[in-house]
Chains A and B, each alone.
Chain A
Amino acid sequence: MRAGGFRSLPVTVRVPLVAAALMIVLGVVASQQVLAALGRLQDARLRETARLHVEGLSVALGPAVLRKDVWEVYDTLDRAKAAYDGQRLLLTVVADEDGRVLAASDPRRAPVDSDVADFTQGAIAPEDVRMTGDPVLRVAAPLVYQSRAVGTVATELDVRDLLSERRAATWLLLAGNAAATVLLVFAGWLAVSRLLRPIGLLEEAMDAAGGVPRPIPPDRVPKGDPHFARLIETYNAMTGAVEARAEAERRLAERERFVSLGRLSSSLAHEINNPLGGLLNAADTIRTYADRPEVVRTSAALMLRGLSHMRDVARAILEENRLDRAGQPLRPEDFEDLRLLFEPEATRRAQTLDWSVKAGPRALGEFPAAPVRQVALNLLLNAGAAAGERGRVGLSLTEDAGALTLEVSDSGPGLAPADLDRLMESGPLPAGGGVGLRLVHDIVAGLRGQIRHERAGGDTRIRVALPRPANGHA
């Protein structure tokens, strides 16, 4: 199973799987241990057999080997073979000190006077005997009589029975351990599943309704486990807190509109105040020259222009603050409003404003007005503050087949890391600073759009791409 696949499994499945895997590992290790112990036991048995055989032969054959009495040696081996009934000891060869065979339990395989080297080749000492997987093991040792090596004993041990015993034990262990492991895996699965049931409950509650945590009803809280009961109590309290936070964030976003407007208020006050001087002058001129119709006409026209500008500004402010905008489609006029609201701010800072809206009413109409206006205004405010006196601020809106692209640029020094985090990341809001950029992030995420940030040629560009909604407004 791929790690990703495994990780995507619920914890109530993963933990029992891990428990099962551990059981299997345990079974394998335990079997290995038992087999190793069996091997050691068999080796010890073999060593003992080989040692007793060689020592016994040394005692029994010493004098005969010393005399090189072929018959005596053969007779002893033959009688020993009859006593052993051919088990284990396949062949025993006894040679004199020159390495010539005196006699063997099977003289046809090891004739008298042949070279014992044929039987000591690859042979090991009795104390080193161990199972090698070979059905026949060769053992050789000097035949010691009266503390003197008077010859050689070479023996072939038949270990087929031990091998089959080991094979049988392996199979038995394999079968037994497999059965035990299956049983333990099942039991482990049951136990862990049961233990993890409250976790499953939590997981289910957290995943419910598209990732919004829901409280767990009291009747589903597992009885008899105070720890889990407390955990779920804490979780329920937490879901309340999460809900409260979401509500707070929603209110904050709501307020943000007023906040952005608030940031524009001094510029907008100037915007209303400046024409007022001209309007008062025009009114005074009309009063003074009431009998001169051409002057009155000119002054009235001046007043009309001033007042209509003031009306436009007031309307834009009102539009920004309308509470019933939800669901209104975006129109080109929304961007004219934005320009009206932002331009005085740029003018106040002697900034160059580069404004370009190349999206038709039909394309714009597919997007909701309020969030897009909020995004554009927040980015403009941010850009204006960053560009500083005599800086450059730009807004460009383009449409293409699938998306609406809003790009806001400024000639400022670039976004501070904390601001960039606010704009690009979803993590917790860093302390201090406003919520404007984070609001942009959240709104764009809500519209399933993407934000790109780049620094190029001393300009900071923030590009927001909003995909066209599949059906109706998002």
Chain B
Amino acid sequence: MSPGRRRFIAGAVAAAAAAPMRLRAAGTLRFALTPVFLDNDAAVIGRLRDALAEGTGMQIELVQRRTYEEITGALLEGSVDAAWLCGYPFLQHSHELELLGVPVWRGQPLYRSYLIVGRDDPAAGLADLRGSSHAFSDPNSNSGYLVTASDLIRMGEAPETFFSRTFFTYGHRNVVRAVAGGLARSGSVDGYVWEALAAVEPALTEATRIIARSEWLGFPPFAARAGGGEATAAIGRALRGFSGTESGRAALSLLFLDDVIAGSVALFDGIALRMADLARGP
């Protein structure tokens, strides 16, 4: 038996002993994932499911959707119990949603958006990219759309006219691929995803260069429909308890995260400012 697995089992036993009140109800909890994730990594997804299952004591079904819009929709209509969202759609529907937790990355529940170009591109900032093509991640992504779009608004420009062509790749990794492959000159990407890719797929990120980083903004949070009851509360507890369980720590480690904290809506004030700028227009 490998030390890893031994630790995992030991952790699972300890967690079960420490939480006798954990729900053992029959049924399955549905947890939705977004492309914030390294969407093609089956190991990450498996670990996350294991950690959630252990934390909630219930079977977990991970639901993957292509866009934030689909995830948000599924969350609001109740076809999923909880989801890992982006701060931008969370704020868009903050009255109907409840914050379950915020991941902690590199010591704080914050991340940044990166503006990237090809490795040999001479551009030094957003202003140098006028008239070129740009890859966004998702129209409802903070780091993959809102940050760059609101930056342009602040410059008195609109994304549709500033760039010669923009398109959505529906995945932060895809944005890096599009820029690295030369399909788009520049891209808006989640800084956390870019840094994670730099660790697991350095060849991909080495073909790109960061020319601008946004201010620190609230990390994409875990959310559920408001008034979701015990099931969603159990998921929240499980998420926030990841650092206390072996499987939770394994999942966090694979996700390059430190912890999940309760957090507060105030973490997303920076995003709210940008949303207001975007709504105001150029």
Residues of chain A at the chain B interface (Cβ within 8 Å) = 69-71, 74-75, 78, 103, 106-108, 111-113
What is the interface of chain B mostly: helix, strand, loop, or mixed? mixed
CA distance A74 to B177 in the complex (A): 10
CA distance A106 to B182 in the complex (A): 7
Across the interface, do A70 and B181 meet the contact criterion of CB distance under 8 Å?
A: no
CA distance A108 to B170 in the complex (A): 22
Cβ of B169 under 8 Å from chain A: yes
CA distance A107 to B182 in the complex (A): 5
Chain B residues within 8 Å of A103, by CB: 183
Given contacts A112-B184, A113-B165, 7 further A-B contacts (CB under 8 A): A71-B174, A71-B178, A74-B181, A78-B177, A106-B182, A108-B182, A112-B183
Chain A residues within 8 Å of B168, by CB: 71
Cβ of B79 under 8 Å from chain A: no
Cβ of B133 under 8 Å from chain A: yes
Closest-by-CB residue of A relative to B175 is A71
Chain B residues within 8 Å of A112, by CB: 133, 165, 183-184
Across the interface, do B169 and A71 meet the contact criterion of CB distance under 8 Å?
A: yes
CA distance A111 to B118 in the complex (A): 14
Cβ of B104 under 8 Å from chain A: no
Closest 5 CB pairs of A and B: A108-B182, A107-B182, A107-B183, A70-B167, A71-B169
The contact sample of 14 A-B pairs, CB cut-off 8 A, is A71-B168, A71-B174, A71-B178, A74-B178, A74-B183, A75-B174, A78-B181, A103-B183, A106-B181, A108-B182, A112-B133, A112-B183, A113-B164, A113-B165
Cβ of B250 under 8 Å from chain A: no
State the Cβ distance, A451 to closest chain B Cβ, in Å. Answer: 99
State the Cβ distance, B112 to closest chain A Cβ, in Å. Answer: 23
Chain B residues within 8 Å of A113, by CB: 133, 164-165
Across the interface, do A71 and B135 meet the contact criterion of CB distance under 8 Å?
A: yes
CA distance A111 to B135 in the complex (A): 14
State the Cβ distance, B161 to closest chain A Cβ, in Å. Answer: 15
Chain A residues within 8 Å of B167, by CB: 69-71
Closest-by-CB residue of A relative to B164 is A113
CA distance A103 to B182 in the complex (A): 10
Closest-by-CB residue of B relative to A103 is B183
CA distance A55 to B154 in the complex (A): 47
Across the interface, do A71 and B181 meet the contact criterion of CB distance under 8 Å?
A: no
Closest-by-CB residue of B relative to A74 is B183
User: Which residues of chain B (117-145) have a CB below 8 Å from chain A?
Assistant: 133, 135
B interface, size bucket:
10 to 19
Chain A residues within 8 Å of B135, by CB: 71
State the Cβ distance, B238 to closest chain A Cβ, in Å. Answer: 34
CA distance A69 to B177 in the complex (A): 16
CA distance A75 to B174 in the complex (A): 8
State the Cβ distance, A293 to closest chain B Cβ, in Å. Answer: 157
Chain B residues within 8 Å of A111, by CB: 133, 182
Across the interface, do A70 and B164 meet the contact criterion of CB distance under 8 Å?
A: no
Chain A residues within 8 Å of B181, by CB: 74, 78, 106-107
CA distance A69 to B164 in the complex (A): 15
Chain A residues within 8 Å of B174, by CB: 71, 75
Question: Most chain-A Cβ atoms within 10 A of its Cβ — which of B133, B174, B182?
Answer: B182
Chain B residues within 8 Å of A70, by CB: 165, 167, 183
CA distance A71 to B164 in the complex (A): 15
Which of these, A71, A74, A106, contacts B170 with CB under 8 Å?
Answer: A71
CA distance A112 to B133 in the complex (A): 8
Chain B residues within 8 Å of A74, by CB: 178, 181, 183
State the Cβ distance, B135 to closest chain A Cβ, in Å. Answer: 7
User: Which residues of chain B (148-205) have a CB below 8 Å from chain A?
Assistant: 164-165, 167-170, 174, 177-178, 181-184
CA distance A277 to B183 in the complex (A): 143
Chain B residues within 8 Å of A71, by CB: 135, 167-170, 174, 178, 183
CA distance A71 to B136 in the complex (A): 10
CA distance A396 to B229 in the complex (A): 154
CA distance A69 to B165 in the complex (A): 12
User: Which residues of chain B (78-133) have a CB below 8 Å from chain A?
Assistant: 133
Chain A residues within 8 Å of B164, by CB: 113
CA distance A434 to B133 in the complex (A): 115
Closest-by-CB residue of B relative to A69 is B167
Question: Most chain-A Cβ atoms within 10 A of its Cβ — which of B133, B169, B174, B181?
Answer: B181
CA distance A92 to B133 in the complex (A): 20
Closest-by-CB residue of B relative to A81 is B181
State the Cβ distance, B242 to closest chain A Cβ, in Å. Answer: 32
Chain B residues within 8 Å of A78, by CB: 177, 181
Chain A residues within 8 Å of B133, by CB: 111-113
CA distance A70 to B165 in the complex (A): 10
CA distance A108 to B185 in the complex (A): 10
Chain B residues within 8 Å of A75, by CB: 169, 174, 177
CA distance A307 to B133 in the complex (A): 145
CA distance A429 to B168 in the complex (A): 110
Question: Most chain-B Cβ atoms within 10 A of its Cβ — which of A69, A74, A106?
Answer: A74
Question: Most chain-B Cβ atoms within 10 A of its Cβ — which of A103, A106, A111?
Answer: A111
Closest-by-CB residue of A relative to B168 is A71
CA distance A112 to B186 in the complex (A): 13
CA distance A70 to B169 in the complex (A): 9
Chain A residues within 8 Å of B170, by CB: 71
State the Cβ distance, B255 to closest chain A Cβ, in Å. Answer: 24
State the Cβ distance, B129 to closest chain A Cβ, in Å. Answer: 14
Chain B residues within 8 Å of A107, by CB: 181-183
Question: Most chain-B Cβ atoms within 10 A of its Cβ — which of A69, A78, A103, A112?
Answer: A112
State the Cβ distance, B180 to closest chain A Cβ, in Å. Answer: 10
CA distance A298 to B181 in the complex (A): 150
CA distance A288 to B164 in the complex (A): 164
Chain A residues within 8 Å of B165, by CB: 70, 112-113
CA distance A143 to B177 in the complex (A): 25
Chain B residues within 8 Å of A69, by CB: 167
CA distance A274 to B240 in the complex (A): 171
User: Which residues of chain B (35-58) have a CB below 8 Å from chain A?
Assistant: none
State the Cβ distance, A75 to closest chain B Cβ, in Å. Answer: 7
State the Cβ distance, A144 to closest chain B Cβ, in Å. Answer: 24
